[in-house]
Chains A and B, each alone.
Chain A
Amino acid sequence: MRTDTLAAGEITGTRTPAVLLRGLTKKFGSVTAVDRLDLRIEPGEVVAFLGPNGAGKTTTIDMMLGLGRPTAGSVEVYGLTPTEAINQGRIAAVMQTGGLLKDVSVEEIVRMTASFFAHTRPVAEVLERAGIADIADRRVAKCSGGQQQRLRFALALLPDPDLMVLDEPTTGMDVEGRRDFWNAIRADAQAGRTVLFATHYLEEADAYADRIVLIRKGQVVADGTASEVKALAAGRQVRATLPGADEVRLAALPGVDRAEVRGETVLLHTNDSDGVARYLLTQTDARDLEITSRNLEDAFLALTSGEDTDLEGMNK
């Protein structure tokens, strides 16, 4: 944990959140990209901003970084405006693509970027921590996609920011590049840095975040720990034909977290499909029984694209 934020909290009795978004809204013409979004991130959290393309992740991140101005609502980064947070080196970002000069070497672009700040970590140190010390002399144009992304990460490490924001950082990387990249981020986050990353890969959110904020149509649709989201996504669906089913009674069965009756068909979402199947077959007239599993991907799709309303309970 970072000593400075602790100290500030001890003095005032309230910790300044790393990120505080209140009623954040961004409209592009008639399109609302971000819709009254509220979010509070505490120092030290590793948060995944999860949602499909077009959910408003990048637009939200741009506003956090001062690259976009909110139509309504406010953004605070450690109690500062985004621009002030950038100027003080409190926030840094790894953007998805672009942003690198091609005709300089890896070491040169890091040294150049370091010159824009009042204080930075040593160039050699950030190269080492981003895992690109061995290609310091390589021209940026000759670096692979993964190496360029680690270079962006090295640049973001320079001001030793309290908050690191990564916008879909592994897009276009191969499996190995992706793993190396996340290992570097993870090692860094363990030292206490607050990390917010946007992704549309559920596995990435699951593997690397303490907390997952699901976003759809510019709004937070679910917000919880990775295990909460996993629990939500885990389980199986039991489907059967059962005339005259009692929805309330089925919902009350052990292990059933959701019951739905559609005419003669019942759909039970459960983490104990064996028990539910046994009950249906022995205690009721159910027939045509079917058990299907919902994988993480299905759950994610349901969470972010469907009209499901059963997630409201997860909203904080």
Chain B
Amino acid sequence: MTAAALPRTEVDRRPPMGGFSLTYLSLEIRRVLRNRRSLFFILVMPAVFFLLFGLPQKGQNIDQANSAAAIAYIMISLAVYGAMTASTATGGAVAVERAQGWSRQLRLTPLRPPAYVATKVLSALSLSLLSVLVEFVVGSIGGVRMPAHVWLLAGLGAWLGSLVFAALGLFVGYLAPAENVMQFMGPILALLALFGGLFVPLEVLPHVMQTIAKFTPVYGVGSIARSPLTHDFSWVAVLNVVGWTAVFGLGAALLFRRDTARV
């Protein structure tokens, strides 16, 4: 069998793009979609939250100052929540793969670490997009009505904002080589979502809490995603997103370098 095997030339034996391929990406996405636990947190829970907490608000405005529909506000918030959970879980899966020795196994292949991380980020973005779409479909069936550009911009905000959490997931994934990383990340994400105003409007919280909330990582993404609806776009939110992306991204990059340099 070997005599007829591949020609051994010194060139053309390394894969292009560091081994990145759509085959790997699609298998990665399928892995998450097959995991019932992940599916529950990414797709089912945000939709159920909408039915529980969004639908009863049908027909009401956010408050006297803002005439936008409360139900739309809740839907966008929960889309952000689904997207951030999807992204964090996908990035955090690195921890499981390190614990299982898969990362080590990958070092016996030409797949380059940046291609691995790129696959994880793209897989996180695919799943967060799916999460946003599902939430929007459920919302639209439930009676949310918004202008087309608001759907689009809010969706893009929730989706692309989840990049912050892909970075957070990778950061945690390279920090803790544990199989159960999402078990402790789940409650943390819920707490962050609360401070980010995804479950209740920040305005109902005490003033001190509101101030603190503005510095937590979900706040920026949440308010940017809702701003097409609420018309209260603020540069503070942008600053928040940029800041946390830098913190998580740099943290993940540092840990990633430590991980791949370890020999």
Task: Output the nearest chain B residue to A80 by Cβ-Cβ distance.
Answer: B10
Q: Is the CB of A101 within 8 A of B97?
A: yes
In the complex, what distance in Å separates the CA atom of A168 from the CA atom of B108?
17
Q: Is the CB of B15 within 8 A of A116?
A: yes
Tell me if B143 counts as interface (CB < 8 A to partner A).
no
In the complex, what distance in Å separates the CA atom of A65 from the CA atom of B263?
11
Partner of A100, one of B3, B100, B107: B100
Q: Is the CB of A99 within 8 A of B34?
A: no
Q: Is the CB of A86 within 8 A of B109?
A: yes
Q: Which residues of A contact B207 (CB under 8 A)?
A: none
Task: Output the nearest chain A residue to B7 by Cβ-Cβ distance.
Answer: A4
B3-19 near A? 1/0 per residue, CB < 8 Å: 10111101011111001
Partner of B14, one of A65, A88, A104: A88
State the interface size on chain B (CB cutoff 8 A).
34
Q: Is the CB of B27 within 8 A of A104?
A: yes
In the complex, what distance in Å separates the CA atom of A149 from the CA atom of B166?
33
Tell me if B105 counts as interface (CB < 8 A to partner A).
yes
Q: Is the CB of B19 within 8 A of A160?
A: no
Tell me if A138 counts as interface (CB < 8 A to partner B).
no
Size class of A's contact patch? Answer: 35 or more
In the complex, what distance in Å separates the CA atom of A101 from the CA atom of B102?
6
Q: Is the CB of B97 within 8 A of A103?
A: no
Q: Which residues of B contact A2 (CB under 8 A)?
A: 2-3
Task: Output the nearest chain B residue to A103 by Cβ-Cβ distance.
Answer: B31
Q: Is the CB of A118 within 8 A of B14?
A: yes
A155-179 near B? 1/0 per residue, CB < 8 Å: 1100010100000000000000000
Tell me if B233 counts as interface (CB < 8 A to partner A).
no
Tell me if A102 counts as interface (CB < 8 A to partner B).
yes
B231-263 near A? 1/0 per residue, CB < 8 Å: 000000000000000000000000000000001
Q: Is the CB of A103 within 8 A of B104?
A: no
Q: Is the CB of B108 within 8 A of A112?
A: no
Tell me if A268 counts as interface (CB < 8 A to partner B).
no
Q: Which residues of A contact B15 (CB under 8 A)?
A: 116-118
A65-B108 in contact given A87-B14, A160-B2 (Cβ < 8 Å): yes
- The residue among A2, A93, A100, A101 with the most chain B CB atoms within 10 A of its own CB is A101
Tell me if B208 counts as interface (CB < 8 A to partner A).
no
Q: Which residues of A contact B14 (CB under 8 A)?
A: 87-88, 118
CB distance from A189 to the nearest CB of B (A): 11
Q: Which residues of A contact B2 (CB under 8 A)?
A: 2, 160, 191-193
Tell me if B190 counts as interface (CB < 8 A to partner A).
no
Q: Is the CB of B8 within 8 A of A86?
A: no
In the complex, what distance in Å separates the CA atom of A123 from the CA atom of B192?
44
Q: What are the 4 closest A-B residue pairs judged by CB atoms, nearest first?
A: A98-B101, A99-B105, A4-B8, A115-B23
What are 28 A-B contacts defined by CB distance under 8 Å? A3-B3, A65-B107, A66-B263, A67-B107, A86-B110, A89-B13, A92-B108, A98-B104, A99-B100, A100-B105, A101-B100, A101-B102, A104-B27, A108-B27, A113-B109, A115-B21, A116-B15, A116-B24, A116-B106, A117-B19, A117-B110, A118-B13, A118-B14, A118-B15, A156-B108, A160-B2, A191-B2, A192-B2
